[in-house]
Copies of this chain bind each other. A is one copy, B any other.
Amino acid sequence: MTKHILILPGDGIGPEITAEALKVLECVKARFGLAVEFDQALVGGSAIDAHGVPLPDETLDKARGADAILLGAVGGPKWDSLDMAIRPEKGLLGLRSGLQLFGNLRPAILYPQLAAASTLKPEVVSGLDILIVRELTGGIYFGQPRGVRTLENGERQGYNTYVYSESEIRRIGKVAFEAARKRGGKLCSVDKANVLEVTVLWREIMQEMAKDYPDVELSHMYVDNAAMQLVRAPKQFDVMVTGNMFGDILSDAAAMLTGSIGMLPSASLDENGKGMYEPCHGSAPDIAGQGIANPLATILSAAMMLRYSLAENEAADAIEAAVSRVLDQGLRTADIQSEGCQRVSTREMGDAVVAAL
């Protein structure tokens, strides 16, 4: 049965990096005889430009019908002055929520070939391998009520609602406990249970769930301390699980520990393993169109897609091995370049991965 993969290039460097990932996917399709078909659609700023909305119905329909989605990135200064309801980010948030992609997996891995790229001392980050599990369709990102109102005294007041129900916490907890079980067996749940009631419930549910996972060692950490510990001793972590907002912040900090956020893929999964895959980095409008962006995070996202949503482990392994090989060959895009290495363009990097396959 043919699987349908939807590619959403998005904005900024999105089109350049997804083009390279598609090249790699076409290559493994031929080599492994995969029964996959590719389609494309608009999301974010490019959809606003074409249709006036960041998530056209056609795109959401195609996404619903697809077996997996590969996204570039969305957003850019061009659309920054738009009203929040029709900004590029709403396209991304609409996809996450519309497809109920609540389980966001963000690995922070240090590639040995790129150890020097980190701003942290080698002994602090060498061998780093953390998985951040972020809840992606709830919390303060989607909580109601929200908005800006005028108070009786005439001044305006902005408000948002941070909200989680037991079942929302449980389903992301399950993703995290299962992931920890398959990895190092350690799960750190991050909350602010000394101040926020919603995270008191979060902690309680995680504690309750721990009974069903006696093989996983659960710990709890306040979010401020977690931000600190990521800088102080990141290798103490195996899997971290947290809500949407804290996950947004901590996963970016964790990614930057590696010094090569241009290398990090991510997956956003629904209850059935259907998923959207995207690089951890953003749309980088400052370097868009120059052909210098690093396509490897998107190529590795494609590998994650093959593994998690299409069960094509062999093809996924092959892509990851090919990426490792081009790094060994000393090829580097601008963001990860270092002395003695050969600087290549976005396209050259994609070609090199294909050649290594």
Contact = CB atoms under 8 A, between A and B. Distances in A.
A195 B148 contact: no
Interface string A144-169: 00111001000111111111111100
Contacts of A209: none
A232 interface: yes
A161 B140 CA distance: 9
Contacts of A224: 248-249, 251-252
Contacts of A201: 148, 156-158
Interface in A219-267: 223-225, 227-228, 230-233, 245-246, 248-253, 255-257, 259, 261
B249 A231 contact: no
A89 interface: yes
Given A75-B194, A195-B93, A232-B119, A165 B160 contact: no
Secondary structure call for the A interface: helix
A202 interface: yes
Contact of A140 (B141, B156, B196): B196
A161 B158 contact: no
Interface residues of A, number: 61
B194 A87 contact: yes
A121 to B, nearest CB: 6
A353 to B, nearest CB: 26
A287 interface: no
Contacts of A261: 228
Interface of A: 75, 84, 87, 89, 93, 119-121, 124, 140-141, 143, 146-148, 151, 155-167, 192, 194-202, 223-225, 227-228, 230-233, 245-246, 248-253, 255-257, 259, 261
